[in-house]
Chains A and B, each alone.
Chain A
């Protein structure tokens, strides 16, 4: 790195020696605080700059002389000042007057105004959207994923009605980066093995503002094909600030309350050198979900194997803390520290009534009593500073450490017991279903006895007129089996188990240094480096309890006196409560927790190990990993003429992953005993990412942008893991990692036009194209060999399909985006205070995969996404109704394949999309209201999911449902205090 610095320094020295020059510096602020993103220029000269996050600016290398300095911004009165330069000049603080006084006063009562966000957006050198703290606060959202989804081209994937993952521009969620203060966050999620951040642990109150960058510059982390969302946590304020809020609400589905409280305090010493901030928030909410799921028996036809009625009740508690310290030694040096902590506890009861038209038991009803507590803890700490090393050379540095961990809480045993997990107590009973369609060998309807095929079908798939259930009312009808054993009409205990899961990911050290050398005022060179050490592990297991057949001949459900579930107004009342009486009785919560311990020796405990059923499945899903990333970049920011900014540059990232996993080796064939052998692999790769961003300001308020960038996606650790396959028994497939997998690269071309209309108004139109190489997907393996080359005597059993992660050939995504933010100022009277926020994006993508003849839509990409918000703002009232629309999208391709007995080739079964899984259309409406009084107080109300939109998934078409889930409306009322 040293040599680069010297090299750069020498090469630019001559330019600096031309004439006698000087610099002009200053700080721009309004009455309240510093203004970032404000353009400073010398009239009719090609010297211009933009204020930084603290409102500071510096113009350098200006020949002595007389100039007119102009400060132009959105939302403030223009400012000009004549200056005479005879040496370095410090202008001190330039205070801008607000244009629309009464309006901005109200808005500015919250740190970070929308105007600030727009100014930053306008002067940004990359394509970006910014949500200010105020913008976040206005939205009825409690977590940042929900706030971000309101931006153009952003799609949110949710869990139990709350935002969890986001994806940009129709790319898979793990193609995008979630950054906190510029760092990619470690990820630890119960389920997801990707590098995509689980946002539900991240309360929006921790965030000052959010920058969504759709094109990257070389100084940003390069593994973000879709773009990156950077969450900037709150900083020490310029002066004393207090924010407090207290809210209470109601979740209609749970029929239970919600609480929310937050408190933040910040101040600065009299001399302005020392500033601090501390904040905390608590969000407790009861939630509930009515859900039904349909399982299809096979990939051969559309017959149903199971209907599951699920009743979820839970309590989520999100806790967030953050703090910031800052000390300014002088104008040349500043040091700061930040800390952030977020945790989420989700205490969840899940009762499943499963009508099994076909299972291993035959035809049965199974009842699962489930209780689990999911704990996710995230923290980060950061120390950084800025230093002006020389007149033209400045540096900023930061060192940070992050950790994210998931584990299950104290169910069914006390805290710390390794057997705690997703705890299930299961009972089953055989029945005879009477709603089958029986077909003979020629596909003609026949009776049960002579049936060649027995199917439970939906009306759309039925070959027989009059037979088949409508997708909104899928009913199981059955009779009791003839009584041979007296217990045949009782539910009998089958098993209890805890799915255990400890998942952690830490970035113990992330260090970054950024240098800027200003050659001339219109040419800045930036270079820097970054390193990140990462380590993580996913450890899953299954603790099992079965009836001890030596000591107990039966464990019958009725002996526990199960009770009917509180259906809270009717299970799936949205559909007219079609399953009235079909949700069978369940154990009480504490009975579930105590079930295993209270039965003592009557149950036989099978600790997780080689004897456990599904041992293989768990082994293949457990792994440990380390990864070191070293990155360096160099770029220039060059304005050959005042209106044009060109950012050429390149970033290089070196990634060195190492994944350790287990292979299963048979040690005693006589006894069938197996053992685990640790295997490891890791292939390092160097990613060279040239990037070019161009911005041309057509006028003061119009930008034309162009970018061409190369970005990438690192393979997930489960994708490159060696050793045993992860087994999905429900799909009967094994998925092997592929240690020689290549990262995915994308060449991106972006074009945009932006028009700024005023302090809070803008319009933009953009288009993009991404050419993606080596997209990662799962392809079929014809051989049963273990990919690590390590002895693994586990043969792929007959009928099981082995898959392996592979690089797909070419794929692409192209799209258009439009965005409008405006107030209806042209309207008379109070209508002036109305406004609209609108954004829309259309994305078209295609991916070539070996298995399908035709190119496919990229999974998890929604073609049409739209947000419309209508708002009203005056000095007291801010209210807004928002609509969020998303097209259905392909979730997962069904690439089920069968080995053709004749050719021995593995052939894919379905070329069409009839067996692919989709996520259904979504249209949600939210409402928020706030009323300001006594200057510092505001009353607020929020209502979410007014349309009670279900989350749906389906197979091929919406009339073939997979998952339908209702969350109902939730609302919150509260009081905020801001100083």
Chain B
């Protein structure tokens, strides 16, 4: 994360090139899903991870993904792969006892209902997720996964995962690739999930290099320009002490990244929607609709894969009954926007108009009280403009003119009544 500030400006340009060569024929949607086990948010922020930072700069990311279930691997990955919470898939620990994958399958299985020829592969290092009967089993009975193949990189180290991923990425027919790195979690268990633990930080930095290799291979695909890749990168839970599985914020308050031309480029934030395991902090279903959470992974992936098909919207398909939501842009065929609104953000509700604009715009707030403080900050952290206004009853509108500022990336930081929200603004 250290390098994120430097990367953000160039990242926006890479994002542009992806769309500059827009084809007349629609690009084929594909998903690369990278899971890194047990990476705590504050550790990721502090670690030197240029590849992950680049991904974040390319897209949508959050450090406000709240875990509402058991922060164990079996439960968490099942939630991410199915797009539903534990009450539906029934995996609450690593024993996978009496799972309900029959009714809530992995997302590739759902995607195949619409796209039967989809080719999906997973590469796994964590044994419980790799039942070999899953391999070459189109039925994917065990996890009802829909993976065409499950490659066991077993105990052969993360280098084997990377090597296997690179080979798979040279297959032009590949549509979905899920790869899993476990060493970060193993290191946390042996030496402590803690940003002060150099060993844990080394493990995070090591996996970042692996991710860099995989992404390089992805970008080298000869067909890359005819494809629309959604890259999702997540962890399953944080950690505390030498474990996880509990309900502390360091275990629950995690992060994920969705990168690629189909997703907005911004950081999304959100308050804690609660947990199914905390009697003092029960789940707020309203907040679940706006806060980034683990169930969004599968739904966003499905929304991407099913884009342009006649299939029903995965988020609302009643027979699928998914819990998550998609974070995709409604339409990526238009010009890249100057700025993007965080539609689901609930910390401070605000609107920006007109949209898009040339640097002159207004920020609108509805039904808030007290002082609103807005700062426009450049990549070096210097405040370029700032305004403080008293909120009105009803609508409060704050005008900005940034046309005189140099082109590039800015952050708009909004503070009101102790709440804070950030927006990314790109001046072009």
Contact = CB atoms under 8 A, between A and B. Distances in A.
B129 to A, nearest CB: 11
A487 B86 CA distance: 13
A794 B86 contact: no
B96 A549 contact: yes
Contacts of B198: 898-901
Contacts of A364: 93, 245
Contacts of A610: 154, 156
B197 A666 contact: no
Interface stretch (A133-141, A315-323, A499-507, A797-805): A797-805
A689 B4 CA distance: 64
B369 interface: no
B119 to A, nearest CB: 14
A481 B95 CA distance: 15
Interface stretch (A252-260, A445-453, A936-944, A954-962): A445-453
A459 B67 CA distance: 33
B232 interface: no
B427 to A, nearest CB: 35
Contacts of B186: 732, 797, 799-800
B159 interface: yes
Contacts of A550: 131, 133, 141-142
A297 B192 contact: yes
A295 B91 CA distance: 28
A299 B87 CA distance: 37
Given A732-B191, A901-B205, A672 B163 contact: yes
B245 A488 contact: no
B247 interface: yes
A303 B202 CA distance: 22
A484 B248 contact: no
Contact of A430 (B87, B93, B151): B93
- Residue from B72, B155, B164 with most neighbouring chain A CB atoms (10 Å): B155
B156 to A, nearest CB: 5
B156 A674 contact: yes
Q: How large is the interface on B (under 10, 10 to 19, 20 to 34, 35 or more residues)?
A: 35 or more
Contacts of A361: 72, 93-94, 245
Interface string A486-530: 111010111000000000000000000000000000000000000
B189 interface: yes
A479 to B, nearest CB: 11
Interface in B184-216: 184-192, 194, 197-207
Contacts of A554: 97-98
Interface residues on chain A, size class = 35 or more
Given A454-B241, A672-B151, A799 B200 contact: yes
B242 interface: yes
Nearest to B276: A484
Given A298-B190, A901-B48, A611 B152 contact: yes
A358 B243 contact: yes
Interface string B84-126: 0011001111111111000000000000000000000001000
Given A362-B243, A484-B90, A484-B276, A669 B190 contact: no
B97 A450 contact: no
B155 A549 contact: no
Contact of A793 (B152, B160, B189): B160
A670 B167 contact: yes
B306 to A, nearest CB: 28
A11 interface: no
B246 interface: yes
Interface in A725-744: 730-732
A798 B204 contact: yes
Contact of B167 (A669, A730, A796, A901): A669
Given A298-B191, A448-B247, 14 more contacts: A358-B243, A360-B94, A363-B243, A364-B93, A428-B93, A430-B72, A485-B98, A492-B95, A549-B142, A666-B160, A672-B163, A797-B186, A798-B207, A899-B199
Interface of B: 48, 70-73, 86-87, 90-99, 123, 127, 131-133, 141-142, 151-161, 163-164, 166-168, 183-192, 194, 197-207, 240-250, 276-281
29 contacts: A298-B197, A362-B243, A363-B243, A450-B248, A451-B240, A454-B240, A484-B87, A484-B90, A484-B276, A492-B93, A494-B95, A549-B131, A549-B133, A549-B142, A554-B98, A604-B131, A613-B127, A666-B160, A670-B167, A671-B164, A672-B154, A672-B160, A793-B163, A797-B158, A798-B158, A798-B204, A799-B186, A799-B190, A801-B199
Interface of A: 297-301, 303, 305, 357-364, 428, 430, 432, 438, 448-455, 481-482, 484-488, 490, 492-494, 547-550, 553-556, 604, 610-617, 664, 666, 669-672, 674, 730-732, 793-801, 898-901
